[in-house]
Amino acid sequence: MKQKMQYAVQPRQSAPQSNKQVEEEIRNFLRALDSYPARVAKEPRLSFQQHLCSIFAGRADSPRDQRARRQ
């Protein structure tokens, strides 16, 4: 009779780090939702996507965002 191969399963080392990353992304998204109305009142042509990208980049008024708004 042939023996079954058993593989040892080791816990993933990156799981806690990826959980922290996901939690940070959720916090950034919720922060963008909360802050978008005030920002769009100042910049009516700003899309939520542009605002969200600026939140994820950590810069509310980066030069890249300003260029994107002009287009």
Q: Where are the domains of the chain?
A: 23-70
Maximum CA extent, the chain: 75
Provide the 8-state DSSP code for 1: -
Question: What does the pLDDT read at residue 18?
Answer: 81
Provide the 8-state DSSP code for 13: S
Q: Taking residues 10-34, what's their average pLDDT?
A: 84
Question: What does the pLDDT read at residue 10?
Answer: 64
Look at residue 2 and tell me whether its pLDDT is greater than 60. yes
Question: What does the pLDDT read at residue 6?
Answer: 74
pLDDT in tens, 49-70: 999 999 888 854 444 444 444 4
